[in-house]
Amino acid sequence: KFAFTTKSRSIVTMAANEEFTGNLKHHLSELFDKSLKLTVPDVAGVEPLVAASAPEKPGDYQCNNAMSLWSMIKGKGTQFKGPPAVGQALTKNLPTSEMVESCSVAGPGFINVVLSANWMAKRVENMLINGIDTWAPSPPVKRAVVDFSSPNIAKEMHVGHLRSTIIGDTLARMLEFSKVEVLRRNHVGDWGTQFGMLIEYLFEKFPDTDSVTESAIGDLQTFYKASKAKFDEDPDFKEKAQQAVVRLQGGDPIYRNAWAKICEISRTEFAKVYQRLKVDLEEKGESFYNPHIPNVIKELDSKGLVKESEGARVIFLEGFTIPLMVVKSDGGYNYASTDLTALWYRLNEEKAEWIIYVTDVGQQQHFNMFFKAARKAGWLPASDKAYPKVDHVGFGLVLGEDGKRFRTRSSEVVRLVDLLDEAKSRSKTALIERGKDKEWTPEELDKTAEAVGYGAVKYADLKNNRTTNYTFSFDQMLNDKGNTAVYLLYAHARISSIISKSGKDIDELKKTGNIALDLAEERALALHLLQFAETVEEACNNLLPSVLCEYLYTLSDRFTTFYSNCQVNGSPEETSRLLLCEATAIVMRKCFHLLGLTPVYKI
Ligand code: ARG
């Protein structure tokens, strides 16, 4: 039985220079944590429930502990009469902090917290001086692997790989911003039986394989299709292709060489896409892990996990109707053996504490199965929340405007390069329609068309909850109104021009000027700016880039409201308001950076 006491108003006061990591929610949670311990000292382990309030609500943040605490303590001899009384006590016991202006209990016990405008202004000034990196979250890991993009050699790099590339890059950027060392891994499908036919076909077409170049082969996809057709039609060729696989896997140098050639040609094609998208990746393809597979299977075997089944070797897993095959009946390895080995390598050799895989949701079962096998082997903790941790980041399909899988008119798979070309040329046309070709140099026009076009493709993907399918529409993504990259990039350019038109030296103002948040619009903008840190943290924790997109869109909305109601240039509040403009531009640019968008300064 608990005995409950309420202590008198605490004198725990945070020092004037209380340490602030940029995260309002954490900071308030710490205050409420202290209050919870004082208010109900006998109830241990209660987490503070603090959340930002919706814009139309009275406070800036709300603490919802009173109701849940009440249900834990009622009928157990508590002196409190109900949730509102618990709320009152929690409020009374809240350590005084410069951050909190006032605190009140409403309704059934919601505690509304109003932040001090002065304090908020100081935090924004502080960021302007010390930089936005001071607002970076700090996840509990030092090193992570993000396994993304990962196309297959000679097969098409399709829109699914585009999604993986865009989402994976953003996740990597958010972790990098959080000072995590990220190993960006391209788990290219560079091994498998398809290489038999590819190599045989290469030998036939180009007897002198050494001199084969990308331009000689042309498009590898067409090459793949032709070799596949021959494989299906010609039994002699099929036979040769099958032998080629055996030779390749046996390490025959001639076959290895041809394999390397094909991979090299694919690699050059992939590299062009990555370069355009400004995505950094290190290739460690499936073949990289080959030498380690036998040992890993041996280890799993020694733990009693591997069983014989219909000539193959498998791992049985509770909760799955089929076992995980790790050695095929012909003795060869497969996708799962490679992934288990890659996981082993990443944990043991690369010492990664968080491993994130970005693929379409269709592969979910594969990931769930080998994650489970790894837990059984004791490589990963039993809880999927504990570190070292693995996560499969699944995403939905890309649909065409007809609602079906995204295809070209001739129902071919859409080639990435064509998509990027079109995005760029459409945004260039739009710029020319606005007469920009007469104002800008051809380079400026080209750079802006790329920033806007590629940015539009990326943002249209990232803004959706990644698990749902999304419809690819150039018209929508290149619209300059609404929640699009075009609108956001232009909003930022407008803010920069407000600053430059003022004729003030903004770096000097940062050092000497002060921010005042007297009007509601100024305050709302500053509050949203200050919520950047907790937003990135949430997006990182839940591996949801859409959370950051939503934040960015709301930010530009708050800015618009501010700018339409508060005169900046030439007003008595000019300095303060220019500093708010600058802070908005900085946060927007950081969002762009995290989303892989290139800002533009002229529109
Ligand atoms: N190459 C695979 C595909 O195109 C994706 C690989 C994802 N990464 C992994 N470790 N399985 O579907």
Tally of CA atoms within 13 A in the half-sphere of 288 that contains its CB: 18
Q: If we measure between CA atoms, which residue out of 552, 406, 396, 559 comes closest to residue 474?
A: 406
Q: Please give the distance, rounded to the nearest whole angstrom, from the Cα atom of residue 187 to the centre of ligand 1.
A: 6
Report residue 240 CA to chain centroid gap. Answer: 44
Tens of pLDDT, residues 172-219: 999 999 999 999 999 999 998 889 999 999 999 888 877 777 777 777
Strands (E), 210-280: none
Segments making up each domain of the chain, as ranges: 24-115, 144-188+283-398, 194-277, 427-595
Strands (E), 255-332: 282-283, 306-309, 312-315, 324-327
| Cβ atoms of 111 and 90 closer than 8 Å | yes
Q: Please give the distance, rounded to the nearest whole angstrom, from the Cα atom of residue 338 to the centre of ligand 1.
A: 10
User: Rounded to the nearest 10 degrees, how much is the dihedral formed by the CA atoms of 156, 162, 164, 166?
Assistant: 160
User: Average pLDDT in the 300-312 region?
Assistant: 96
- Which pLDDT does position 19 carry in this prediction? 67
Please calculate the CA angle 578-463-557 and round it to the nearest 5 degrees.
30
| Cβ atoms of 10 and 34 closer than 8 Å | yes
* Alpha carbons 484 and 60: distance in angstroms, whole number: 28
How many residues appear in the chain? 603
Q: Please give the distance, rounded to the nearest whole angstrom, from the Cα atom of residue 333 to the centre of ligand 1.
A: 15
When the pLDDT of each residue in the chain is averaged and rounded to a whole number, the result is 92
Q: Please give the distance, rounded to the nearest whole angstrom, from the Cα atom of residue 286 to the centre of ligand 1.
A: 9
Instruction: Name every protein residue with a CB atom under 6 angstroms from any ligand 1 atom.
Output: 147, 150-152, 187, 189, 339, 342, 357, 359
Concatenate the DSSP letters of all residues of 149-201 into one string.
---BTTS---HHHHHHHHHHHHHHHHHHHTT-EEEEEE--B--STHHHHHHHH
Q: Identify the CATH number of the domain defined by range 144-188+283-398.
A: 3.40.50.620
* Alpha carbons 429 and 262: distance in angstroms, whole number: 37
- Which pLDDT does position 21 carry in this prediction? 80
Phi, psi of 149 (to 5 degrees): 70, -80
* Alpha carbons 123 and 121: distance in angstroms, whole number: 5
Which residue's alpha carbon is nearest to atom 8 within ligand 1? 187
* Alpha carbons 248 and 191: distance in angstroms, whole number: 10
| Cβ atoms of 157 and 120 closer than 8 Å | no
> Which atom of ligand 1 is least distant from the CA of 286?
10
Q: Please give the distance, rounded to the nearest whole angstrom, from the Cα atom of residue 541 to the centre of ligand 1.
A: 22
Tens of pLDDT, residues 428-445: 999 999 999 999 999 999
Residue 343 reports pLDDT greater than 60: yes
Which residue's alpha carbon is nearest to atom 11 within ligand 1? 339
Residue 574 reports pLDDT greater than 60: yes
Residue 221 reports pLDDT greater than 90: no
* Alpha carbons 497 and 452: distance in angstroms, whole number: 18
| Cβ atoms of 164 and 395 closer than 8 Å | yes
Which value, in Å, is the radius of gyration of the alpha carbons in the chain? 29
Contacting residues for 23 by C-beta, under 8 A, at least 6 apart = 135, 137, 533, 534, 537
Tens of pLDDT, residues 461-520: 999 999 989 899 999 999 999 999 999 999 999 999 999 999 999 999 999 999 999 999
Q: If we measure between CA atoms, which residue out of 111, 95, 228 comes closest to residue 103?
A: 111
- Which pLDDT does position 155 carry in this prediction? 76
Tens of pLDDT, residues 548-564: 999 999 999 999 999 99
> Which atom of ligand 1 is least distant from the CA of 342?
10
* Alpha carbons 222 and 213: distance in angstroms, whole number: 15
State the angle between helix axes of 253-277 and 194-205 in degrees (0 to 180), rounded to the nearest 10: 100
Residue 7 reports pLDDT greater than 80: no
Which residue's alpha carbon is nearest to atom 3 within ligand 1? 151
Residue 388, preceding bond cis, omega within 30 degrees?
A: yes
Q: If we measure between CA atoms, which residue out of 456, 416, 455, 449 comes closest to residue 270?
A: 416
If pLDDT is split at 50, 70 and 90, which confidence band does 12 have?
A: very low
Phi, psi of 600 (to 5 degrees): -120, 155
- Which pLDDT does position 6 carry in this prediction? 31
Residue 413 reports pLDDT greater than 80: no
| Tokens describing residue 584 | 């908005």
Rounded to two decimals, the pTM is 0.93
How large a percentage of the chain has pLDDT more than 70?
96
Q: Is 110 helix (H, G, I), strand (E, B) or coil?
A: strand
Which residue's alpha carbon is nearest to atom 9 within ligand 1? 187
Report residue 406 CA to chain centroid gap. Answer: 23
| Tokens describing residue 297 | 């299977």
| 355 DSSP β-pair partners | 145, 390
| Tokens describing residue 152 | 């297959």
Q: Identify the CATH number of the domain defined by range 24-115.
A: 3.30.1360.70
If pLDDT is split at 50, 70 and 90, which confidence band does 157 have?
A: confident
Asked if the domains 24-115 and 427-595 are classified in one and the same CATH topology, the answer is no
Residue 393 reports pLDDT greater than 80: yes
Q: Please give the distance, rounded to the nearest whole angstrom, from the Cα atom of residue 303 to the centre of ligand 1.
A: 27
If pLDDT is split at 50, 70 and 90, which confidence band does 2 have?
A: very low
Instruction: Domain 427-595: give its CATH architecture.
Output: Orthogonal Bundle (1.10)
**Structural element, H or E, at residue 398:** strand 398-399
Residue 9 reports pLDDT greater than 70: no
Q: Please give the distance, rounded to the nearest whole angstrom, from the Cα atom of residue 536 to the centre of ligand 1.
A: 27
> Which atom of ligand 1 is least distant from the CA of 339?
10
- Which pLDDT does position 57 carry in this prediction? 87
The DSSP code for 96 is B
* Alpha carbons 48 and 33: distance in angstroms, whole number: 6
Q: Alpha carbon of 219 to those of 156, 215, 262, 456: distances in Å?
A: 10, 8, 11, 27
- Which pLDDT does position 578 carry in this prediction? 98
| 282 DSSP β-pair partners | 185
If pLDDT is split at 50, 70 and 90, which confidence band does 121 have?
A: very high
Which residue's alpha carbon is nearest to atom 5 within ligand 1? 150
If pLDDT is split at 50, 70 and 90, which confidence band does 79 have?
A: confident
Q: Residue 321: count other Cβ atoms within 10 Å of its Cβ.
A: 5
| Tokens describing residue 521 | 């619009």
- Which pLDDT does position 15 carry in this prediction? 38
Please calculate the CA angle 433-437-443 and round it to the nearest 5 degrees.
130
**ipTM reported for the complex, 2 dp:** 0.99
Q: Please give the distance, rounded to the nearest whole angstrom, from the Cα atom of residue 151 to the centre of ligand 1.
A: 7
| 52 DSSP β-pair partners | 61
Burial of residue 560 (CB within 10 Å: 0-12, 13-18, 19+) is: middle
